[in-house]
Structure 1
């Protein structure tokens, strides 16, 4: 009797199987985005959500309540499946968003809307409504999601389409075992084993452990015959190789003036504060993002090492440094305590996204040069941060973001002119151009144009150039190219090799020897919620401490 009642109840329950209805369209849109690589899809979470929607409920009122309850859950799950910044990241940046002007915020919103995708979604809706008249779409939706879960069993990293090799990726050397001593001397950590999440995480941990052992050895004192010179580090916000190519400025004469160019330099981050901290701490190996805000040994601070050898520290900026507590971070985490050079009387043709003036960089550089001539300091080390290329900057009096290419052209022209003036001055100066990170002019499947929450290779692959002004020896006919994977430790090592200044008075400079054996650094980049790295020639990403997946191409 009980078995008969149970069977009757079960049959009655399954009479209320209603299918997915309009939620089919929700999942079909996800499948389409996943097919083209626009989602960080979580198969199991979506399968659980689908099971919740399909579970038979006899009471029609409860069935309707379930659909209302599913709406916020579906929106949250869709957001979770995208590459968009996590909620924690948005909250952490919330104070900075309040500093944006209303015009810039509106521009970001309109930039976020992809009208091609909107049109494709509309076509998909009409197609779904048309076919659902004759086809039970739920069957195909369930089958597709079950298949995706079966694919995911083999590992967290899967793709519906074959992925093309990353054009921005820097191919590394063949994976060969490297000891800790080898790594300290410039060898990259071994990338052995298949690219599972466990192996990728182990590789990242091994990288940071090995980086802790690396540091630049500056001399305890300068020799008696050392030649005085100035170090000028120009830290440009929002400039990567991809931005230069998108602007058509790769042949600008500025780059031909360099003595040394680092072709495969990785900024290791996509945000300004962390990038400048990493540069100021260039004398030690690369740290994780979290460790940037932890105390470090004084030997890590490049400018502190130079100050011990008699270089006077100087600081210049073409902005106030208030936004994002940038200047505060330089003081607290980068140990840059030099007073900010006066900006009084300097003109400005640009205003930043928060409405503050951006001062003319050539005028600032000329002021710096005059102070070097009249200051009486034999040796100086200057950190100059400039932001005319930052997203959202506009001409004074305008509400529209100024085009990037003309701003980059003007900046390159100003730096080119300054180098010419520097040559004429007779001052011996080592000029190092090191951008913070790229502008993300060209977006990808993970991020729209201008968004830098994820430190993708196109954002962190930056042009780094070195120019020795005032040398006795002739400059090379074209820049010597350092092609090995490099980062800030290579700059610190190069400065240490030149710190005695003898290269400026030498009759001949052996550029090959000067740059031979500079520290190599694996291309690993990290923001507070994302890690991007290359492993066996391919690029992988981990968001919010989750599983590793191939970077979508």
Structure 2
């Protein structure tokens, strides 16, 4: 077996540290195969080549890396990544602690290889792992769920309940003072990311009337998050349904247009990656516009320009209202300022993690500046901050930092905030009201429907305590294709790509 022992001992170390799964019978089969010694060089070379390919494939299968199908789908798009960003991504998978441990293991092997038969230890360890797992260690954090409550039944019940949720947006054709709507959807902004950069509750959020502390974006990828937002006037659907046309009344922006709004979609990027602009155009029912009129403040991982958020928003808003004839506008705005791989224009070369905080400060300052401009304009406006997903600034035991395949709560719990500008009755001065129960898109747009049924300048108005009842609760279910994370009474559970439910520790 020779140096193959090192491969297995390294996997034992990773498994006992919960970094990988361990398929004991496939590893046993591999260990048996590499134990045979062939005299003929051709047979030996063939054996080692096949074993090497199998060993790499097995390690990949046991890791938390994306499934090969997704990796293959991303391969074409990865060709557009800059070389520096590819190096940065590669470096994230190098754990210096593991490198040190493996170095010590190599040194011990070289010292003791002549005295000990390491292959015997390998077989003993492989056979002991399923026995240890029976006693709940070390695979305790990945126990298959079993018991009276079937997660599959819970999930189907959730979808059935969500299927009955539909909003009817009232017409504003006869409203004396209709309000504009601005929905800001930045990517890669989660509560956990804010905590990572020592900004757990940015001062910017104090500008709002309402902050949702437990909002679930339901996905950790940008395009699905945009789709879910743009069909948020109905309940949450499974990932597979997102590719189908939205049911009647579930397409938010076409419904707003029918209610009497002009609708628009603006991006601070070109939207070509993963055909994002085409997706927005299809779901919003209006052509997504690239904010070319804005100043270029950074470049994306593919070298394309990323435009200044304030200048894009301000110039578009002022230009639109100069020619709109007074008709209210519903604007969807998507920003990739915080996306992984962005490089600051005219700045020193720093990686995405180091530049995240400066980019965050810039994004929030731009949004703050734009809200101030809206306040001075004298028009009633509803502003909604609704991030698409988090950035995964730090990983967990099943997913490395920067990876977003598993839609964990670190990725999908995002800061959502709502502000009323120019309304007759807004919240009194002071910190924003906080909604602590679990919410998602339908709850936010239920509040929007309630506001549309009123006149922004009418003398009467519902108190905030009554309005908050419209922000309905939605159970935590997040999904990326086959992978689903759900919250039950004992914590989080996950349906893996292999269709197994396991306990999920997000710490």
Does TM, normalized by the shorter one, top 0.5? yes
- Quickly say closer, same or farther: Cα 1:460–1:118, change in 2 above 3 A: same
Query: Does the aligned pair in 1 maintain the 2:427–2:464 contact within 8 Å?
Result: no
Find 2:261's aligned residue among 311, 314, 331: 311
CA offsets 1:355-392 (integer angstroms, 9 cap, x no match): 11111111122123313542223321110111111111
Give CA deviations for 1:423-473 in whole Å, capped at 9, x if unaligned.
Answer: 121110000000111111122333333222222211111000000011222
Change (3 A) 1:547 1:150: farther
* Alignment counterpart, residue 535 of structure 1, candidates 467, 488, 496: 488
Match of 1:522 among 475, 481, 485: 475
Instruction: Name the SS for the 1:463 alignment partner.
Output: strand
Q: Which residue of 1 aligns with 2:341?
A: 392
CA–CA distance in structure 2, aligned partners of residues 116 and 350 of structure 1 = 33
For residues 457 and 207 of structure 1, what CA distance do their matches in structure 2 show?
18
Partner residue, 1:289: 239
Residue 185 of structure 1 aligns with which residue? none
Measured against aligned partners, the alpha-carbon deviations of 1:8-46 in whole angstroms (never above 9, x if no partner) come to xxxxxxxxxxxx443322222111111111113323332
**1:239 aligns with one of 181, 189, 195:** 189
Corresponding residue to 1:248 among 178, 198, 205: 198
Residue 121 (structure 1) shift: 0.9
Q: Is the 8 A contact 1:197 1:548 kept in 2?
A: no
What's 2:316 paired with? 368
Q: Is residue 2:489 matched to residue 1:511? A: no
Question: Corresponding residue for 2:169?
Answer: 218
**What is the distance in 1 between the residues matched to 2:491 and 2:72?**
31
Name the counterpart of 2:389.
Answer: 437
**Quick check: 1:266–1:460 contact (8 Å CA) kept in 2?**
yes
Is residue 2:91 matched to residue 1:116?
A: no
Q: CA deviation at 1:501?
A: 4.0
* Structure number, greater radius of gyration: 1
After alignment, is 234-243 or 491-500 more displaced?
491-500
Contact 1:226 1:500 in 2 (8 A): no
User: SS state of the match for residue 308, structure 1?
Assistant: helix
* Aligned twin of 1:464: 416
Deviation at 1:278, TM superposition (A): 0.7
C-alpha deviations, 1:220-262, integer Å up to 9, x for none?
A: x448456300010001011101111122233432101111111
The change in CA–CA distance for 1:197 and 1:102 in structure 2 (over 3 A counts) is farther
Kindly report the root-mean-square deviation, in angstroms, between the aligned alpha carbons of the 2 structures: 2.7
C-alpha separation in 1, matches of 2:129 and 2:467: 53
Match of 1:346 among 257, 279, 294: 294
**1:210, distance to aligned residue in structure 2 (A):** 3.1
**Residue of structure 1 in register with 2:329 after alignment:** 380
Q: Partners in 1 of 2:368 and 2:377 — Cα distance?
A: 15
Moved more, 122-131 or 389-398: 122-131
Do the aligned partners of 2:133 and 2:140 also contact (CA within 8 Å) in 1?
A: no
For normalisation by structure 1, the TM-score amounts to: 0.83
After TM superposition, the score normalised by the length of structure 2 is 0.90
Distance (whole Å) between structure 2 residues aligned to residue 58 and residue 251 of structure 1: 64
1:494 aligned onto 2:447: yes
Query: Aligned partners of 1:425 and 1:146: how far apart in 2?
Result: 72
The CA distance in 1 between the partners of 2:457 and 2:10, in whole Å, is 63
Q: CA deviation at 1:118?
A: 1.3
Structure 1 residues 49 and 449: CA distance shift in structure 2, 3 A: same
Conserved 8 A contact 1:195-1:535: no
1:6-45 matches, cutoff 5 A: 20-45=1-26
In the alignment of these two chains, the number of paired residues is 499
Query: How far off is 1:74 after superposition?
Result: 1.0
2:438 to 456, 474, 485: 485
Stretches of structure 1 that go unaligned for 5 or more consecutive residues are 1-19, 165-192
